[in-house]
Amino acid sequence: MILKVYFIILAYFLVGVTGFCFINRKKEKSQALKSWKKTFTYFIVINIVALSIVIKPIAFRVLAVIIIVAGFLELIDLFRTAGYKKRILFLTAILIFILISAGFFCFSKVEQELIFYTFAITSIFDSFSQITGELTGRKKLIPGISPNKTTEGFIGGVFIAAASGVILKGLIGIPSGKALILACGIAFFAFLGDMAASFYKRNFGVKDFNNLIPENGGFLDRFDSLLASGFLTAVLSLLKFV
């Protein structure tokens, strides 16, 4: 079943590539090339994560630890680079990140199918909120935190993620209603994770944490959504919702 879902995600990716073709036609050549590099790198990253989930439970657990440690280091490094200013913000961010990280590590221990489901819905939301935003976005959602996010992109991303959650419900064996609630929750927490990271960066005056992942920034730039959605899934699993 996981293999089937993986091919469904690849189909989503191809649809996304078609969307980016329309988007990049309107951009300057240098900007379009940068966008394609980002898309290609993102494709490699999601395949690495998918492979780690499929191989063995321990593989994704190791990746989860790497993401957590890298995230801590990126938060600290940005604070250090800024001259150790805004200490209250930094300490608050660290405390929140400790809580999220604990949940994310617990998430790495839940059933393989539930991990893959959460990863799939998060990836779909991330991708299609950007695509629908660039194609149809007009109204800025939270310009003070993330200038590129639009209301139309958020709604489009949630809608496609919710529909996908119902389509992929067989992976975790839950009813359509529960799958719809879970997918919407995953999408919303993915959004919150992204906004929290953006808020932290905005306060320190940077766009990305670093350039470790080409055209995608650092680990937190790439995995902020999965950290938050994984935290939610861990909590819901503990409460026996899934």
Residue 42 has pLDDT above 90, yes or no: no
**What is the rounded average pLDDT of the residues 214-233?**
93
Of 35-39, 55-59, 125-129, where does the model show the most confidence?
A: 125-129
**pLDDT confidence of 147, banded at 50, 70, 90?**
confident
pTM of the model: 0.93
Compute, in degrees rounded to 10, the torsion defined by CA atoms 22, 24, 28, 32: -160
Mind listing the pLDDT tens digit for each residue in 71-114? 999 999 999 999 999 999 999 999 999 999 999 999 999 999 99
Question: With contact defined as beta carbons under 8 Å apart, do 242 and 236 qualify?
Answer: yes
| Token digits of residue 19 | 């969307």
Interhelix angle for 29-55 vs 112-136, to 10°?
170
Extents of the domains making up the chain: 2-238
Which pLDDT score, from 0 to 100, does residue 13 have?
76
Our separate counts of H helices and E strands in the chain read: 8, 2
Which pLDDT score, from 0 to 100, does residue 59 have?
94
Q: 26: buried, middle or exposed (CB in 10 Å: 19+, 13-18, 0-12)?
A: exposed
Q: Return d(Cα 116, Cα 118) in angstroms, integer.
A: 5
- Name every residue whose Cβ is closer than 8 Å to that of residue 12 and which is 6 or more positions away in sequence: 124, 127, 128, 164
Amino acid letter for position 133: G
Which pLDDT score, from 0 to 100, does residue 30 have?
76
Which pLDDT score, from 0 to 100, does residue 88 have?
96
Residue 184 has pLDDT above 80, yes or no: yes
Which pLDDT score, from 0 to 100, does residue 217 have?
86
